[in-house]
């Protein structure tokens, strides 16, 4: 008797081959047979008319804190994900000496848009070292297969404390300690090393995240550990400082797969050719034998925000004036003509790597509490300013001030044009991921990127066949990150499975869920067309709700291909 038998599905192997109509049997967490299968099973699923594929592999998430209080790692399992990588951009919570826990969480709350009270209330500190953190995840029993990066900002903080955001050059002793902590993480099974030079990555109180002030010399010394080990991958939120040329040289020196994450590589109407230039440079690097890739988003990059927390604008120096201010202090700043003049100057002299480039047509009013402004919800600031006979910048701040800064805006800055984005998605140097799942919970939820890809880029636009679309979400990202055995639906493979209806698959609109520790709220999405998700042969979601399990079936991944 099989543990699980899925009958009559259209089976996709995840490797891009045409589908076959077949039954799939699962025993002890592995796929044991594919074809016409007789006999019984403890669980039988009739799947005629549905598609069965490997579970989605999400390489770019931030569940580092959430996993300590939520073993489901929601909402990703509900959205078809079965394997995830955490610790991206070098932000996480391990290693962390006990006296630096609050510092770590305060920084994480800002840089990844998380509810600070939820973090302070919810994180279960059963660890200090990276290895102890991995042990704790095993004890928790996550619903998803989980791999963890060693993180630059985390390690810098663990070694340098509060000075990590101020001290540019580490001492020789500090450098050796940081390298030692990366080695400890690699020995404990880290998937690799992650960092950030992004100017958008600010921490608590507007202080820079530690890695963003580090020198290139320091970065090379730390990534060199991967070269010494001859395994692991390197992921970086690059900004403009870590150019493709710099990243290629690191890939060359270490011999390790190296991944760029940057808004500069997204389609942007202000500089429509720039994103493709990044992909072409990565493609050229690969042709030279240097494994350099772009992490690619298949969704519009949209951010909900208010002027109580204008995180997407903080990289403009004018906003330094609001740091440390309460609501009344912030209101005075926003009303000050000198502040507005300084912001106008910022927009005339743009720094590299920032999110908002000054096009007010890319910011809409999402929600206002002022009755006379409700009619403007869904309109851009440019449109509203014309109706109010104001300059867009003044309209933006005046509306927020009248609403006591609680007006919610949505910024749609990158990847909002299908014809501009499609060539990036199809480029061989790109790896589709960048969900940021677990982060920016107050403003967005892109955890459903895979279902969006299947619904929009496969079914609605036809830019990809279903078999190729599935490959790009499963075996391709797994192979690029050297995640052994995942992303395939083959006999002998781990039974990570997603059963869905190709005619209806997709994601819901954003929904508010008040389920964070301490009563905090977050933005989530629900799946459409999903009929079941299994991780290592165990059903974790039935398409409607999570399956209650004492411990999840997800593996803590520590063994990777070289």
DSSP code string of 199-249: TT-B-GGGPBPGGGG--HHHHHHHHHHHHHHT--EEEEE-TTTS-HHHHHH
Spatial CA neighbour of 497 closest among 77, 140, 42, 38 = 77
Q: How far is CA 349 from CA 69, 322, 342, 408, 530, in A?
A: 44, 20, 11, 27, 47
Is-contact 210 153, C-beta < 8 A? yes
Which H, E and C letters describe 353-413, residue by residue?
A: CCCCCCCHHHEEEEECCCHHHHHHCCCEHHHHHHHHCCCHHHHHHHHHHHCCCCCEEEEEE
Is residue 404 located within the same domain as residue 468? no
- 367 pLDDT band, cuts 50/70/90, is confident
**pTM across the whole model:** 0.88
- 224 pLDDT band, cuts 50/70/90, is very high
Q: Residue 18 forms beta bridges with which residues?
A: none
Kind and range of the H or E run holding 471: helix 466-473
pLDDT at 302 over 80: no
Is residue 324 located within the same domain as residue 188? no
Average pLDDT value over all residues in the chain: 95
Instruction: Examine residue 204 and state whether it is found in any structural domain, yes or no.
Output: yes
Per-residue pLDDT, averaged over 317-336, amounts to: 96
Instruction: Examine residue 256 and state whether it is found in any structural domain, yes or no.
Output: yes
CA distance 459 to 466: 8
Per-residue pLDDT, averaged over 357-366, amounts to: 90
Cis amide leading into 95 (omega within 30): yes
What's the pLDDT score for residue 301?
80
Q: Which two tokens stand for residue 120?
A: 């302070």
Is residue 339 located within the same domain as residue 458? no
List the single range of 14-18, 226-230, 303-307, 320-324 with lowest mean pLDDT: 303-307
Per-residue pLDDT, averaged over 419-436, amounts to: 96
The 10 Å CB-count burial string (b at 16+, else e) for 521-559 is: ebbbbbbbbbbbbbbbbbbbbebeebbeeeebbbbbbee
- 268 pLDDT band, cuts 50/70/90, is confident
CA distance 476 to 479: 5
Is residue 352 located within the same domain as residue 236? no
R_g of the chain computed on alpha carbons: 23
CA distance 89 to 169: 20
- 205 pLDDT band, cuts 50/70/90, is confident
Instruction: Examine residue 111 and state whether it is found in any structural domain, yes or no.
Output: yes
Instruction: Examine residue 425 and state whether it is found in any structural domain, yes or no.
Output: yes
Residue scoring higher pLDDT (532 or 444): 532
What's the pLDDT score for residue 312?
84
CA distance 453 to 245: 30
Domain boundary residue among 359, 379, 414? 414
Is residue 474 located within the same domain as residue 393? no
Domain boundary residue among 414, 429, 462? 414
pLDDT at 442 over 80: no
pLDDT in tens, 492-537: 999 999 999 999 999 997 788 999 999 888 889 999 999 999 999 9
Is residue 321 located within the same domain as residue 436? no
- 357 pLDDT band, cuts 50/70/90, is confident
Per-residue pLDDT, averaged over 183-190, amounts to: 98
pLDDT at 353 over 70: no
pLDDT in tens, 370-414: 999 999 988 999 999 999 999 999 999 999 999 999 998 988 888
Per-residue pLDDT, averaged over 431-455, amounts to: 91
CA distance 315 to 208: 10
Instruction: Examine residue 493 and state whether it is found in any structural domain, yes or no.
Output: no
Is residue 79 located within the same domain as residue 177? yes
Is residue 209 located within the same domain as residue 115? yes
Phi first, then psi: give them for residue 391, nearest 5 degrees: -65, 145
Is-contact 161 103, C-beta < 8 A? yes
Spatial CA neighbour of 73 closest among 544, 527, 541 = 541
Q: Residue 234 forms beta bridges with which residues?
A: 193, 258
What domain range is 400 assigned to?
A: 303-414
pLDDT at 9 over 90: yes
Spatial CA neighbour of 296 closest among 258, 263, 256 = 263
CA distance 86 to 59: 8
Q: Which two tokens stand for residue 270?
A: 């202000």
pLDDT at 115 over 70: yes
What's the pLDDT score for residue 435?
94
Is residue 404 located within the same domain as residue 424? no
- How long a stretch of residues is the chain? 562
Domain boundary residue among 481, 497, 521? 481
Instruction: Examine residue 1 and state whether it is found in any structural domain, yes or no.
Output: no
pLDDT at 269 over 90: no
Count of domains in the chain?
A: 2
What's the pLDDT score for residue 124?
97
Per-residue pLDDT, averaged over 260-273, amounts to: 89
CATH assignment at residue 192: 3.20.20.140
SS3 53: strand
SS3 151: strand
Share of the chain above pLDDT 70, in %: 100
Looking at residue 114, what DSSP letter applies? -
CA distance 543 to 523: 19
- 349 pLDDT band, cuts 50/70/90, is very high
- 460 pLDDT band, cuts 50/70/90, is very high
For residue 251, with 0-12 CB atoms within 10 Å meaning exposed, 13-18 middle and 19 or more buried, which class applies?
buried
Is residue 108 located within the same domain as residue 61? yes
pLDDT in tens, 153-177: 999 999 999 999 999 999 999 999 9
Instruction: Examine residue 282 and state whether it is found in any structural domain, yes or no.
Output: yes
Which residues contact residue 545 at a Cβ distance below 8 angstroms, ignoring those fewer than 6 apart? none
pLDDT at 444 over 90: no
Is residue 195 located within the same domain as residue 175? yes
Spatial CA neighbour of 468 closest among 515, 507, 432, 420 = 432
Instruction: Examine residue 241 and state whether it is found in any structural domain, yes or no.
Output: yes
Is residue 222 located within the same domain as residue 156? yes
CA distance 530 to 490: 21
pLDDT at 203 over 80: yes
């Amino acid at each position: 008797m099989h543990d699980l038998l899925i009958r009559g599905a259209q089976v996709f192997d995840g490797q891009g081959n045409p589908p076959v109509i077949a039954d799939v049997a699962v025993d002890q967490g592995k796929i044991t047979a594919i074809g016409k299968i007789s006999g019984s099973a403890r669980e039988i699923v009739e799947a005629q008319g549905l598609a069965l594929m490997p579970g989605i592999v999400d390489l770019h998430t931030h569940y580092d804190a959430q996993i300590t209080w939520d073993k489901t790692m929601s909402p990703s399992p509900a959205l078809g994900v079965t394997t995830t990588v955490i610790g991206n951009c070098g932000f996480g919570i391990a290693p962390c000496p006990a006296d630096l826990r609050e510092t770590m969480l305060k920084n994480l709350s800002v840089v990844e848009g998380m509810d600070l009270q939820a973090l302070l209330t919810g994180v279960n500190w059963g660890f200090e070292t990276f290895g102890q953190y991995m042990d704790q995840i095993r004890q928790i029993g996550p619903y998803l297969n989980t791999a963890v990066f060693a993180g630059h900002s985390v390690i810098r903080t663990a070694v340098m404390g509060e000075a990590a955001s101020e001290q540019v050059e580490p001492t020789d002793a500090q450098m050796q300690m940081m390298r030692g902590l990366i080695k400890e993480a690699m020995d404990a099974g880290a998937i690799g090393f992650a960092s950030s030079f992004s100017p958008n990555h600010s921490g608590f109180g507007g202080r820079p995240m530690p890695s963003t002030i580090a020198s290139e010399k320091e970065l090379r010394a730390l990534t060199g550990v991967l070269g010494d080990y001859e395994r692991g991958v390197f992921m970086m939120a690059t900004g403009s400082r870590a150019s493709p040329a710099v990243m290629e040289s690191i890939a060359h020196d270490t011999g390790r797969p190296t991944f760029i994450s940057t808004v500069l590589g997204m389609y942007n109407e202000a500089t429509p050719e720039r994103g493709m230039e990044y992909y072409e440079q990565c493609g050229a690097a690969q042709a030279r034998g240097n494994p350099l890739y772009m992490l690619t988003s298949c969704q519009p990059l949209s951010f909900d925000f208010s002027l109580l927390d204008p995180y997407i604008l903080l990289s403009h120096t004018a906003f330094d004036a609001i740091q440390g201010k309460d609501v009344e202090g912030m209101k005075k700043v926003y009303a000050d003509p000198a502040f507005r003049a300084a912001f106008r100057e910022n927009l005339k002299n743009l720094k590299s790597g920032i999110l908002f480039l000054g096009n007010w047509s890319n910011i809409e009013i999402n929600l206002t509490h002022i009755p006379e402004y409700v009619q403007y919800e869904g309109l851009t600031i440019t449109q509203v300013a014309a109706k109010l006979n104001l300059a867009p910048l003044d309209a933006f701040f005046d509306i927020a001030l009248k609403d006591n800064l609680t007006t919610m805006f949505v910024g749609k800055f990158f990847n909002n044009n299908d014809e501009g984005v499609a060539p990036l998605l199809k480029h061989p140097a790109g790896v589709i991921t960048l969900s940021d799942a677990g982060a920016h919970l107050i403003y967005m939820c892109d955890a459903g990127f895979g279902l969006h890809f299947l619904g929009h880029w496969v079914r609605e636009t036809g830019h990809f066949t279903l078999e190729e679309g599935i490959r790009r979400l499963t075996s391709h990202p797994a192979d690029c990150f050297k995640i052994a055995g995942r992303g395939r639906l083959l006999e002998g493979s781990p039974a990570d499975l997603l059963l869905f209806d190709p005619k209806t698959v997709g994601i819901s609109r954003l929904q508010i869920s008040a389920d964070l520790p301490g009563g905090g709220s977050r933005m989530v999405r629900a799946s459409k067309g999903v009929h079941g998700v299994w991780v290592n042969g165990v059903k974790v979601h039935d398409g409607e709700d999570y399956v209650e399990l004492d411990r999840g079936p997800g593996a803590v991944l520590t063994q990777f291909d070289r």
